[in-house]
Amino acid sequence: MTNPTRFLRILFSATLLTPLAFIAINETNMLTIEPVTDEGIRYIVNIIAVALTLACIPMALRLFTMPKPRRQGAASVNGYVRWAAIRIALLAVPLFYDVVTYYCLGHYATCGWMAMMVAVMFLFVWPSDGRMRYERETAYPQDEQ
């Protein structure tokens, strides 16, 4: 791969632009979604949103401190790109779910807050050359082992 960070930046940008496009379509009333009114369904969907968000965020942020991703990421650039794409996907899934459920539940505040929390976490996984060099090192500082 000639420029792995370029590929990861394109993936990163596409991952953020897709929910923004969905938000823009909904806010301009180009797509009308009938909100779910059943409280049981709303509760279950809300619990799934919170659980998914709170499970994926720490895993995505600490992915390269786990043995297998660290080993494969240090072994080759393609291994690093694969695990960096998985990290972006770990944040993309709850972001998409939270944004869609926010509108499907009739602007349910919890899903909106979860989506904003995931969006902020994207700032911590921006693909850069320095991040790639640091995460591909096999000898991490002692506090991260």
From the list 30, 12, 23, the residue with the least C-alpha distance to 90 is 12
Cβ 12 vs Cβ 127: under 8 Å: yes
Between CA 81 and CA 136 the distance in angstroms is 10
pLDDT of the chain, 145 residues: tens digit per residue: 678 889 999 999 999 999 999 999 999 988 888 888 888 999 999 999 999 999 999 999 888 888 888 888 888 888 889 999 999 999 999 999 999 999 988 888 888 999 999 999 999 999 988 888 888 875 555 444 4
CA 25 vs. chain centroid, Å, equals: 21
Domain containing 43: what range?
A: 4-133
* Residue 143 resides in a domain: no
* Residue 140 resides in a domain: no
* Residue 144 resides in a domain: no
The tally of domains found in the chain comes to 1
